[in-house]
A and B are shown apart, each in its own frame.
Chain A
Amino acid sequence: MIKNIFLNLKKYTFLMTQLISRDFKIKYKRSVLGVLWSLLYPLLMMCVMALIFTNVFRFDMEGVNYLVYLMTGLVIWNYFNEATQIGMSSILSNFSLINKVYIPKYIFPLAKCLFVGINFLLSLIPLMLIVIFSGNISEGTKCYINIYYLILPFVFLCVLMFTLGLSYILSTLAVFLRDTIYIYGILLTIWNYFTPLFYSIEILPKWLSTILKFNPLYIYINSIREIIIFSRMPSPLMLIACFISGFVTLLFGIIVFKKNQNKFINYV
């Protein structure tokens, strides 16, 4: 069965690259700077966020490079936010295709998650610039690129699995119930505030911070912060939690999607 999955994936790789490159071309069509925006946009956004959160709303954290703290969270959150939203409507928006040609439907959410993933990888460049140039040695807030960076791809993979799994579930739901799109938009806002992006989990009441520790995004972001800010290896428990939350979500998403995909055509 696994062999089949890989053969299938291989067969449709070309289609997937075409779908992704279409998204890229359309996104930057008619803009003067074009693909350069992929780099500029996150960089400028980060500058804005940095200005706001370091000057206006400052959450002081002793001995922590706040700018890096903020940005590591934002990079992951932005990926998750954008990918699940586009992934959610990917089946609906590609319906004219699904209705006319046989294409395995799982490709659409996957292509979207990977497309946003490329943007995510590009946004790591400005993040690395911040890591290198920010911080103060005497305050102990300087971050260093270290050996544990090798673990980062693993964490990113877990984020991808989690995002993809959720996209499969959401895109299935959205086909049957359009309200999903709005409800999820609201849920995302709540989720945003319950993910420690700009504050530390320690400022929360105990009961809340305990619940928050089950937020997969917190687990991913925290692992990445351990590596980037503190140059530490995330605890094995944390890494296992990363993997399990991502893998189980993906598996569940695939099952839900697979069970319902033949009914899509009647509902769109």
Chain B
Amino acid sequence: MIKIKDVSMKFNLGIEKNNSLKSTIINIISLKNKKKSEDFWALKNITFNIEKGEVVGIIGSNGAGKSTLLKVVSGVMKPTKGSVEVNGVISPMIELGAGFDPELTARENIYLNGAILGYSKKFLEEKFDDIVEFSELKDFLDAPVKNFSSGMTAKLAFSIATVVNPEILIVDEILSVGDIKFQEKSKNKMMSMIKGGTTVLYVSHSLSSIEELCDKVIWIEKGELVKIGKAKDICKNYYEYQLKNN
């Protein structure tokens, strides 16, 4: 279902200084080329396969490359090297509410965000009530999202993102959305998706939720794949590694 082969992703950390005319000219004139030393490999030769229906957790320290990996899988980024092959409809929940416009009302944002996630107009019209009901925001439909609390925004975003039954679900640390009641609800929703045969890629720092949900875990550190295997074993190894490094 997902085939990642020898994927490497390069970032140029020096780029930030480099996009004004002045510095570009200076760079061209000065013969010193520091660019090489500023290359940063966020991912190095990552290879793995994920079969249909698998629930795979991704763990690693902050800055290990987890989010970059998700972005490569979801197509937001093209890898510098290697190939990514994905068969199936992806629903990316990398950052909830990325497409929200604070000035628009919740109602308008449901359509805008739905369109950004690739839903059709017909689908959205059919599912509109479901989204509203799940989000528990019926009374605030015509209020602009900028007046929402962060929890409300997240609830709305989660409801829009999960109204489809995607073949592949990419989740980046979002099950901690909203109040406890909503957390339970969103967890159940995800469980039912998993039971329905959705392939899931799940990034989290919560080892307990990873162990609970995932069959397989990929552990990456500094852009490199450390280990891949059964959830329980990898989580244990990872936990020990984290403690040792403290």
Chain A interfacial positions (CB closer than 8 Å to B): 11, 14-15, 17-19, 22, 25-26, 29, 96-103, 176-179, 183, 262, 265-267
Contacts and interface: CB of A to CB of B under 8 A. Distances in A.
Interface stretch (B56-64, B114-122, B177-185, B198-206): B114-122
Contacts of B20: 177-179
A100 B108 CA distance: 20
B92 A102 contact: yes
Contact of B19 (A22, A177, A183, A265): A177
A177 B103 contact: no
B31 interface: no
Given A18-B111, A262-B78, A265-B77, 9 more contacts: A18-B116, A19-B112, A26-B103, A99-B71, A101-B74, A101-B99, A101-B116, A178-B19, A266-B12
B76 A22 contact: no
Contacts of B117: 101
A15 B19 contact: no
A268 to B, nearest CB: 9
Contact of A18 (B21, B75, B112): B112
A254 to B, nearest CB: 18
Contact of B24 (A17, A97, A177, A183): A177
Nearest to A102: B75
B40 to A, nearest CB: 11
B24 A22 contact: no
Contacts of B99: 97, 100-101
Contacts of A183: 21
Interface in B80-125: 90, 92, 94-95, 98-99, 101, 103-104, 108, 111-112, 115-121
Given A25-B104, A25-B108, A98-B76, A103 B116 contact: yes
Contacts of A18: 111-112, 115-116
A241 B24 CA distance: 36
Given A22-B108, A22-B112, A100 B94 contact: yes
Contacts of A176: 19
The 8 A-B residue pairs with the shortest CB-CB distance in the complex, in nearest-first order: A100-B98, A18-B115, A102-B75, A179-B21, A15-B115, A262-B78, A100-B95, A14-B121
A96 B118 CA distance: 17
A40 B11 CA distance: 49
A101 B15 CA distance: 23
B180 to A, nearest CB: 27
Question: Residue among A17, A99, A183 with the most chain B CB within 10 A?
Answer: A99
Given A101-B116, A102-B92, A22 B12 contact: no
Given A22-B108, A179-B20, A262-B78, A15 B116 contact: yes
A183 B9 CA distance: 33
A97 B98 contact: yes
B98 A26 contact: no
Contacts of A26: 101, 103-104
Contacts of A99: 71, 76, 98
B156 to A, nearest CB: 16
Nearest to A175: B19
A103 B98 CA distance: 12
Contacts of B95: 100
A174 to B, nearest CB: 10
A185 to B, nearest CB: 14
B76 A265 contact: yes
A265 B115 CA distance: 21
8 contacts: A18-B116, A22-B104, A29-B103, A97-B116, A100-B92, A100-B94, A100-B98, A177-B19
